[in-house]
């Protein structure tokens, strides 16, 4: 059965076959761009200056790729991942799909008009039952 996907891509027209691929192409990855790690780039939280794929810390001037979802990784780590799967390793957002900014815009407007300085959203997943999942919103 592993050959089924390969066979379908050979016999179906390109418009159908392209939907079967979950890999990113080199032009898709290059379009994302990359930036050098700079001091203070991730604030004072040392965990933010870590690649979630290899768990290694970023080093000054090391090249980092930031995906459209704003998750960041070592260039080599995430490129290797994207050649296998075109979604973010953390949130699974496809790199070729637009990010919906409606929540971000709405929270920015709320912050500007009400003087709110910080909005935190915590999602707690229950291992026992999905019905026990809860969302906590903290507005400060």
Q: What is the chain's pLDDT, residue by residue, as a tens digit (140 residues)?
A: 445 444 444 444 444 444 557 899 999 999 998 999 998 888 888 788 999 999 999 999 999 999 999 999 999 999 999 999 999 999 999 998 887 753 444 444 444 444 555 666 666 655 555 555 566 666 65
Please indicate, yes or no, whether residues 41 and 75 belong to a single structural domain of this protein: yes
Identify whether 16 is part of a domain: no
Please indicate, yes or no, whether residues 80 and 27 belong to a single structural domain of this protein: yes
Please indicate, yes or no, whether residues 26 and 57 belong to a single structural domain of this protein: yes
CATH for 91: 3.30.40.10
**Residue-range definition of the domain harbouring residue 120:** 100-140
Please indicate, yes or no, whether residues 92 and 111 belong to a single structural domain of this protein: no
Identify whether 10 is part of a domain: no
Identify whether 9 is part of a domain: no
Q: Which two tokens stand for residue 110?
A: 């709320």
pLDDT of residue 43: 85
Q: Which two tokens stand for residue 44?
A: 């004072």
d(CA 62, CA 73): 11
| 3-class secondary structure per residue, the chain | CCCHHHHHHHHCCHHHHHHHCCCCCHHHHHHHCCEECCCCCCCCCHHHHECCCCCCECCCCCEEEECCCCCEEEHHHHHHHHCCCCECCCCCCECCCCCCCHHHHHHHHHHHHHCCCCEEEEEECCCCCHHHCEEEEEEC
pLDDT of residue 25: 93
Identify whether 77 is part of a domain: yes
pLDDT of residue 55: 95
């Amino acid at each position: 059965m592993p050959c089924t996907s390969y066979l379908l891509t050979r016999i179906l027209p390109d418009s159908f076959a392209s939907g079967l691929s979950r890999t990113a192409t080199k032009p898709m990855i290059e379009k994302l761009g990359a930036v050098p790690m700079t001091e203070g780039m991730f604030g004072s939280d040392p965990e933010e200056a870590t690649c979630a794929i290899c768990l290694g810390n970023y080093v000054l001037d090391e090249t980092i790729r930031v995906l459209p979802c704003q998750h960041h990784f070592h260039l080599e780590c995430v490129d290797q991942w994207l050649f296998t799967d075109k979604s973010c390793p953390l949130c699974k957002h496809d790199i070729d799909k637009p990010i919906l900014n409606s929540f971000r815009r709405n929270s920015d407007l709320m912050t500007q008009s009400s003087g709110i300085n910080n909005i935190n959203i915590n999602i707690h997943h229950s291992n026992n039952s999905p019905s026990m999942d809860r969302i906590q919103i903290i507005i400060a």
